[in-house]
Amino acid sequence: MFLEGKLCRLRAVEPADVDAMYLWENDMEIWRVSNTVAPYSRYALEQLVESMRCDIYASRQLRLIIETTGVGRPEVAEPGDGDGYVRTGDFMAGVAIGAVDIFEFDPLNSRAGIGILVYDEADRGRGYAADALCVAERYARETLHLHQLWSNVGADNSRSLALFEGAGYRRVGVKADWVRRADGYVDEVLLQKIL
């Protein structure tokens, strides 16, 4: 599979992902970094999944689900419990742990924005986001023929800044007092990578 990484794979959104997306999109802790201000209904997410069947050239966005391959994630369910997951040794494969969003796709200028979510704190810091970013970049370069990707990251989000900078993204701008938080305003950092 082309969208296969070392630790995870990226796949198309399926109707079965609505439950996980409902949890992710309605978690107010995530709203902090996604600039979301209102909850999503299950119906709206079902419509989003349906719209993801469209070509990225028509919708100008694409969500890919980050799914484990069985490397680096401890098994979280008992073998033989009928959950449909494929087990590899002591690790479980086929678990949706987050998403990669490619948005504001601009084929004329060969660029797009990119954002990553690894939802569960237990799955963070294990290399999934870095692996997913690498796979998404390969897809953007080789399939979408993009010249560059960019991301906006809150200056207080040290993990995301480290992720993108570790992958070769450069800070190309700072928007002062750009995002309002409960305790005041924070800057937003614009990062860019020429592919």
For the stretch 139-185, pLDDT in tens is 999 999 999 999 999 999 999 999 999 999 999 999 999 998 889 99
Contacts of 195 (CB under 8 A, 6+ apart): 137, 140, 141, 146, 147, 148, 149
Position 2 scores a pLDDT of 62
Single-letter amino acid code for the residue at 99: A
Single-letter amino acid code for the residue at 112: A
Q: Report the 10 Å Cβ neighbour count for 128.
A: 26
State the residue for tokens 């998403």: 99
Block means of pLDDT (10 residues each) for the chain, 195 residues, are 85 90 85 79 86 83 90 49 46 81 97 96 93 97 97 96 98 96 94 98
pTM of the model: 0.84
Position 11 scores a pLDDT of 93
Position 79 scores a pLDDT of 43
Single-letter amino acid code for the residue at 53: R
